[in-house]
Amino acid sequence: MELRVPPEHDGDRLDAFLAEPLGSRTRATRLIEAGGVRVDGAAVVKRHKLATGQLVVVDEAADPHRGVAEPVGEPAPFTVVHEDEHLLVVDKPAGVVVHPARGHRQGTLAQALDGRAAGGEEEWRAGIVHRLDKDTSGLLVVAKDEATHRALKTLLQARDITREYLTLVEGRPPARSGTIDAPIGRDRRVRTLMSTDTDNPREARTHFEIERALPATTLLRVRLETGRTHQIRVHLKAIGHPVCGDPDYGGSGGADLGLTRQFLHAAHLRFAHPVGGEWIDVRSELPQDLREALARAAGDTAA
């Protein structure tokens, strides 16, 4: 296959340019890495930026998976709560992994958005700007193109995207609101967990306020200032009020509330649109399982 780069694709990444003629960005990447793609006679990396008039030659016989069907999992469920030509805001249910990782190769949100989302260096999570844990439900913003992905990442790093969560914690904090300022990194002893007891601390700040006080638990509204892995769960454990249903980080199993996962929901996203400048302000109600757990925590025996 020989392709001459047209003016409208000047500056495109090589893997993105080949995604359509080869059927997917994944296949394009595989062929590039196998040495089956040359640009003006030279082997280049997948992120190589093309110029108008360059000749791209593809040897499809170099594909190591030639003739082998890609494994296909069930598509991940999600709801779109905002969409325009540049980005989407999606509401992710609990149980859905955001992008492929060890042990979760199929059925991810990123795969469900294939062909609809774009941007970023890794084609396996194209368009993904930030993530939620598998068992955390709620709102995520996803880019549709490279420029929007870069702009959203800049907003995130500048802390100009408001991310608020609702979480039910054990006990009651001593103040109605507060800030937890404690660096987080990989736990010294359990390497699969994050912790404030770490050899590689990174800045982390979480703000909270009491939304509703209950007999043995408290519903908090939490706002992230930074976005470290498991930050809310780690920080709330650190102040002695772990998330209900989160035994990994000091909470009970949640069986008394009917929980089968941590009570943590990304409930509110607010940011200035990176292209038009208008405010995107979206909210997500607590899903049914968390509403039922909240009713039990309040002592509603009908829950």
Is residue 152 helix, strand or coil? helix
Whole-angstrom distance, CA of residue 3 vs CA of residue 214: 65
Q: What is the DSSP string of 136-147?
A: -EEEEEEESSHH
Q: Three-state DSSP class for 186?
A: strand
**Positions marked catalytic:** 133
Alpha carbon 268 to chain centroid, angstroms: 15
CA 303 – CA 299 distance, rounded (Å): 9
**54-91 burial by CB neighbour count: b if 16+ within 10 A, else e?**
bebebeeeebeeeeeeeeeeeebebeeebeeebbbbbb
Cα distance between the two ends of the chain: 62
Locus of tokens 């990989």: 186
d(CA 2, CA 5): 10
The DSSP annotation for 166-177 comes to EEEEES--SSSE
Please give the Cα distance from 256 to 276 (Å, whole number): 47
How far is the C-alpha of 140 from the C-alpha of 137, rounded, in Å? Answer: 10
Q: Which two tokens stand for residue 75?
A: 């598509």
